[in-house]
Amino acid sequence: MSIPTTTPTLTHFDAQGQAHMVDVGAKPATHRIAVATGRIEMQPATLAIIEAGTAKKGDVLGIARIAGIQAAKKTSDLIPLCHPLALTRVAVEFEVAGMQYPGTVGIACTATVETIGQTGVEMEALTAVQIALLTIYDMCKAVDRGMSVHEVRVLEKHGGRSGRFAVAAEN
């Protein structure tokens, strides 16, 4: 993880404190990548339904993957000051994961988003993860209303003036 050497400023506010879209027009287009992750916890029986493919609404992870990809493409429609971007790649992956509370299991989601442009794709990766996990909730809420979404965050980003950022590996 990079440590800032100066006091960071909030770029979405002008000198008068008014919200604005950041002007990226003078920035060079570079290859930019962001990876975000998050997880949804559920009852073991809910996970069994997902893995067996017997959910009444259909292929839960397949539909959640498409929802995440679509969400990444629509991020600027959802987050007011995000730039509309021409994404070159969106990948949404799922993995069954152990959870911190006894009696629960879950699914981890990782989204990788890429572009060649003047601004980063962190928001697109975060949006993809959130919407993919919310889609899982929506598709399974009839059998488990106690599901919960946790730890949505950026794992790493590459490209642009600020360079590389990566969360330190967990032990």
pLDDT tens across 126-159, in order? 999 999 999 999 999 999 999 999 999 999 998 8
Sorted by sequence, the CB contacts under 8 Å of residue 163 that are 6+ apart come out as 2
C-alpha distances (whole Å) from 111 to each of 6, 31, 131, 160, 169 are: 30, 17, 11, 19, 18
SS3 42: strand
**Is 14 one of the annotated active-site residues of the chain?**
no
Residue from 23, 59, 138, 144 carrying the catalytic annotation: 138
pLDDT at 53: 84
Q: DSSP letter at 122? A: H
**Alpha carbons 26 and 74: distance in angstroms, whole number:** 24
CA angle 70–76–80, rounded 5-degree value: 140
Structure tokens at 164: 């590389």
- Residue pair 40/89 in contact (Cβ under 8 Å)? The answer is no
**Alpha carbons 98 and 104: distance in angstroms, whole number:** 8
Kindly report whether the global pTM for this prediction surpasses the value 0.75.
yes
Chain segment 56-88, per-residue pLDDT in tens: 777 999 999 999 999 999 999 998 888 889 999
39-51 burial code (b ≥16 CB/10 A, e <16): bbbbbeebbebbe
Give all strands of the β-sheet with 30-42 in edge-to-edge order.
87-98, 105-117, 30-42, 148-158, 165-166
Q: What is the mean pLDDT of residues 6-29?
A: 62
Q: DSSP letter at 120? A: -
Of the pLDDT bands very low, low, confident and very high (cuts 50, 70, 90), residue 4 is: low
